[in-house]
Amino acid sequence: MVTASPWGGSLAATALRFARAAVAEGHAVGPVYFRGEGVYQVLSGRQADPGSEDLSSAWRALAESQAFELLLCSADAARRLPPGPVTAPWREAGLGEWFGCLADADRVVSF
């Protein structure tokens, strides 16, 4: 679960690095749930600092290569994001769906 803003510090990038490292070690990752200010990571083309990685594109590439979904908290997305649909592998999901995902996971990490 990622609650960190892509602009508020390095925690959002750390979440991505952690997911990449888990995949590199052979672990299954996903789905990843973004809530609070974490939903801003769906906004492509907005880097935290000049020269830093576009987190939206990076999450998309990782999710597509590993076939997992990127879930946006539907309530936070409605409050914080501009209106309009999001495209796969991003999609909106409620807490009920997230709790269902938790039941299938053997570990959960929060950033």
Return the active site residues. 73
Cα torsion for 10, 58, 97, 72, to the nearest 10°?
70
Q: Which amino acid is at 77?
A: A
Cis peptide before 82 (omega within 30 of 0): no
